[in-house]
Chains A and B, each alone.
Chain A
């Protein structure tokens, strides 16, 4: 049953992706991206990744959509018809896809418990987390304790991205009233 729900949701994800590829109106693309993130969060629930699903629903479906809508408000919302040939990108993508399919042929089937990924470090986390950290949510325990430096790096990246956005957009507003026109790029 889990496998069937998973397959249905994955099919919807594939359809939404194809719709994003062919859609020319950028507003529709943003809305489809929001649907895509919501479907992705649903897939994550089916895959028992509840913490990831919550993050994807709030960050992917909500914050990303707001950011994209803000960017569209400040720029243009219509994509021009492409002038260059599409044959080469299509060929490149299909070649990459064929190689990836070939590479995944030997991977273990969906949902089996005796695969290498479940033998190595995961049992140690599951068995020892209660004694070592004392939090029943294993994902939180790994995120904040075992891989705490990883999370510190992540917050640093977000901090730097925030500074970058403020520098890029904040400087612009200060220049505008004095000069009247945007700064000459050359």
Chain B
């Protein structure tokens, strides 16, 4: 029981790391560029969880001031992650534009098929 409770307390970190490792594995092992970008955004979203999970207080409420509440979750990680989400979609859009351009130039979006065309 003790071990289970300790595991439950750290469950959010375990899942955060699972998402991070899953994203890393996709980026490193897959040669398809769209899949690589999806892996990159999974890696990025795992960092959102890493920031937001510690900000929560059980029994607290969203950080909007109201007379009936006294306990609020930490607002600073929310602000940082808001910025990160918007920047994330910017990088995804730029990456996908590059992929479309590469497809126009090489006729493929697979890393392993591009290298022979470049003579490498």
User: What residues make up the interface of A, taking CB atoms closer than 8 Å to B?
Assistant: 2-3, 6-7, 10-11, 13-14, 17-18, 20-21, 26, 29-30, 33, 36-37, 40, 43-44, 46-52, 55-56, 59-60, 63-64, 67-68, 70-72, 74-76, 79-80, 82-84, 86, 89-90, 92-94, 96-97, 100-101, 104-105, 107-113, 115, 117-118, 121-122, 125-126, 129-130, 136-139, 142-143, 147, 150-151, 154, 157-158, 160-162, 164-165, 168-169, 172, 182-186
Contact = CB atoms under 8 A, between A and B. Distances in A.
Contacts of A44: 48, 52
A52 B48 contact: yes
A67 B75 contact: no
19 contacts: A7-B12, A26-B34, A36-B42, A46-B56, A47-B52, A49-B73, A56-B48, A67-B96, A76-B103, A112-B58, A126-B72, A138-B64, A138-B65, A143-B79, A154-B86, A154-B87, A161-B93, A168-B97, A168-B98
Contact of B75 (A26, A83, A139, A164): A139
Given A48-B56, A90-B29, A109-B9, A97 B20 contact: yes
B75 to A, nearest CB: 4
A33 B73 contact: no
Contact of A117 (B55, B60, B103, B109): B55
Contacts of A80: 31-32, 110, 112-113
Contact of B101 (A14, A107, A110, A169): A169
Interface string B71-105: 11111111101110111111111101111110111
Given A44-B52, A64-B41, A161-B91, A18 B22 contact: yes
Given A29-B35, A164-B97, 8 more contacts: A49-B77, A68-B37, A72-B34, A75-B100, A96-B21, A110-B12, A126-B65, A182-B104
Contacts of B48: 40, 44, 52, 56
Contacts of A130: 65
Contacts of B22: 17-18, 20-21, 93
Q: How big is the B interface, by class?
A: 35 or more
B38 to A, nearest CB: 6
Given A55-B85, A138-B72, A169-B100, A7 B31 contact: no
B20 A112 contact: no
A158 B28 contact: no
Contact of B32 (A10, A26, A165): A26
Contact of B54 (A37, A46, A52, A115): A115
A158 B29 contact: no
B34 A71 contact: yes
A64 B41 CA distance: 10
Interface in B26-49: 26, 28-32, 34-35, 37-39, 41-42, 45, 48-49
